[in-house]
Amino acid sequence: MRFPSFNAESIPTPEDVIERPKISKKPETVEVIKGESTRPYEASPVIKYEISHTHTVYEKPIGPDTKTCLIGDGQGMDTLEFLKIGVKPENVSSVNYEQKEVQKANDKNLVGTGVEMKQGDATDSESLKRAGIELSSQDIVTLMHVLEVPDIKNEAEARLIKNLVDILKSDGELLVSQYKQKLTPVEAEHYGVEKIAAEDMEKKFGPDWQAEFKKEYGMDWENGMRYSEISNIRPKEELERLFSQYFDIKWTETQSEYILKMKKRE
């Protein structure tokens, strides 16, 4: 995952349907710090309002000894929810690609919890190993709004899925969420999604970066555009293809997102 995660979370309605919040006015202008989102981080609603009460992802009860790995957990808010459920800190692993978010999580939200978020790339098995995630070691893995990261496709996508399968135990469970459509420009601004800087694209693609950008993402770069505009949104059929050969799947579908609760096939 080379681009920053912009996994802005939804908010549950009174009917427990998880939807995006309505934005009724233009948000205040905020200074965007390169490499991280400026939005306030919140726990994923499906974890905070459902799993925290049922203590299950697919079927196995979550207890103190449940080995739990959270991949791409912003600044640690989902990690806190699993600690509240009662998982022992020594059984919780939290991994994020963005070093600035890792630092903020460890300096703020995870202080005193006994959990230290580690920097790691979930598309790279050696990177996960360096972060302390061994093969066949996890009862639960979560991947909340990480699939939208633009560069998780093709070979990187295949490596990610293989790594998820490999780090789970034989009866391990996986929780995945993905938006159905891209954020609107207003939502992207509201959540503080980082703008795509020309200098970053030149470093990535070289002097002919604008042509390479169009080739890679199927659109022209424009000044002020945000990473959400090039997010990787898969239809339900594609998500089914990615996961069904390895997992039994329970689908939850809301107006704005897909939630997949899965059990690894033995």
Give the three-class secondary structure for 172: strand
Pairs from 149-154 (Cβ < 8 Å, separation ≥ 24): 149/1, 149/3, 149/5, 149/72, 149/231, 149/232, 150/3, 150/217, 150/227, 150/230, 150/231, 150/232, 151/1, 151/2, 151/3, 151/232, 152/1, 152/123, 152/232, 153/232
Contact 56, 22 (CB under 8 A): no
CA distance 147 to 154: 12
Q: What is the pLDDT of residue 40?
A: 59
Which amino acid is present at 170?
S
User: CATH topology for 11-195+230-264?
Assistant: Rossmann fold (3.40.50)
Domain edges within the chain: 11-195+230-264
pLDDT in the model for residue 176: 98
Do the bridges between strand 138-144 and strand 168-179 make them parallel or antiparallel, or are there none, so unpaired? parallel
Q: What is the pLDDT of residue 48?
A: 95
- pLDDT tens across the length of the chain (266 residues): 333 333 434 333 333 434 444 433 333 333 333 344 445 578 999 999 999 999 999 999 999 999 999 999 988 999 999 999 999 999 999 999 999 999 999 999 999 999 999 999 999 999 999 999 999 999 999 999 999 999 999 999 999 999 999 999 999 999 999 999 998 889 888 878 889 999 999 999 999 999 999 999 999 999 999 999 999 999 999 999 999 999 999 999 888 899 999 999 98
Q: What is the pLDDT of residue 193?
A: 86
